A = this chain, B = another copy of it.
Amino acid sequence: MSRRSGHLRLGAFLYPSGHHIAAWRHPDARADAGVDFRHYVQLARAAEAAKFDLVFLADGVGTRGDNVDFLSRTAHSYVAQFEPITLLSALAAVTERIGLVGTASTSFNEPYHIARKFASLDHISGGRAGWNLVTSSSEHEAKNFNRDKHFDHAERYARAAEFAEVTAGLWDSWEDDAFVRNKAEGRFFDPAKRHVLDHKGRFFQVKGPLNVARAPQGHPVQAGSSEAGRDLAAQTAEVIFTAQQTLQDAIDFYADVKGRMQTYGRDPDDLKIMPGVFPIVGRTEDEAQEKFEQLQSLVDPKVGLALVSGLTGGFDLSGYPLDGPIPDLPETNASKSRQTLMIEIARRENLTIRQLYLRVAGARGHWQLVGTPAQIADQLEERFVNYGADGFNVMPPLLPTGLNDFVELVLPELRRRGLFREDYEGRTLRENLGLRRPAHRVR
């Protein structure tokens, strides 16, 4: 394969005070960022001024467990945050060009509601909406929705696949030019361009049509995480948010998913793979390291331990010595990719429990880079030109300062290398990401 040219894509993954687990305790942090709308306006506008493709919001439909002592020591447990669809809709009104991608689970939702809200957001924003499809794997979420436990692995993915099929079908309820709005003849839409889905499947019976016109983007951009399954992603996703630690893993993952797309008759260019990256940027290596250590010093050991337990599938490590190795873990019904990833990190780097929690506290399993702008740009460039990524979902350790650091220090370096845009190419998220606008299924 020849050396790759072109621009990489960038997402700004917003998390209230920042992605580092102790970010909220940092002197520069707004500890109440999760309910401070002006904070998010500032972040979204900064990312837009820097020409990021999109802002991204994760989600969960519950707080993270019953370990109240742990929960009470962290801002990372979805205890006091905005809900993504409401937040992105509000941000749509105060931005012009940046994409707005939010997570919503298929496990405890109805496709009609999800299809409708993202189509509505696409209209409000003039074609900038994206939906990150995930499945819910926590009992704490299931218990908020009439269930004792979450759906098992296979069931979750089967439901998610059918959910995505229904949603895509609903987004084609109307052809692009269905609404003729002919005042003289009194004809609001052309009946021939209205399509009733009439879906009858294993999980859902949804008649349609959707009560929103076809979206400016045709369909809002469909994002997925690698956790939702490589096959599901290869089949339906247009952007994939993932976590790979090493260059080789990234290249393998990239090749595997793009390869699988051909099974489903899709062009590999129709999917952008954007791994998360957690960058701590300093003008010098020492400055970067100092910034990192200041955050690390704020990690409460009780939080670190509980965090590793959570990431390894809920297994309680509190009985094991903090400075001993990670024990063998039983297989659980929780997210397998995340669990495997944690254990791989620990084994490869020969970490103790304490070292593991400090290792994953910040990026929580994502790719962590601590260095100068040139060092960070080198790493990003290496992954991009070697087909390990189409771009990156940037996870600033601290907000807003970590985003500003990336914009002011790393972006000029990427631009100098011709790796990132000077201005937006288009008006819609699809245009900027280089994704085709889907034709209506009957065309």
Contacts and interface: CB of A to CB of B under 8 A. Distances in A.
Interface of A: 22, 24-27, 29, 31-32, 34-35, 37, 41, 60-63, 68-69, 71-75, 78-83, 85-87, 89-94, 108-110, 112-113, 116-117, 119-121, 123-124, 126, 140, 143-147, 174, 179, 181, 183, 186-191, 194, 204-209, 211-213, 298, 300, 303
Given A80-B213, A183-B31, A212-B81, A90 B89 contact: yes
A188 B78 contact: no
Contact of A41 (B26, B29, B93, B209): B93
Determine how many copies of this chain the complex contains: 2
Given A83-B212, A86-B89, 8 more contacts: A32-B179, A35-B123, A63-B211, A71-B194, A72-B191, A79-B211, A82-B212, A86-B120
Q: Which of A41, A188, A206 is packed against the most chain B CB atoms within 10 Å?
A: A188
Contact of A86 (B62, B85, B211): B85
A123 B62 CA distance: 18
Contacts of A25: 183, 186
A83 B206 contact: no
Contacts of A208: 144
B188 A75 contact: yes
Contact of A124 (B71, B82, B143, B146): B82
Given A63-B211, A80-B189, A209-B63, A85 B87 contact: no
A237 B119 CA distance: 31
B123 A189 contact: no
A72 B112 contact: no
25 contacts: A27-B183, A32-B179, A35-B213, A61-B112, A75-B188, A78-B211, A79-B174, A79-B179, A79-B189, A79-B209, A82-B124, A85-B85, A85-B89, A86-B120, A87-B120, A89-B90, A90-B90, A90-B92, A90-B93, A93-B94, A112-B144, A143-B207, A144-B208, A186-B298, A186-B300
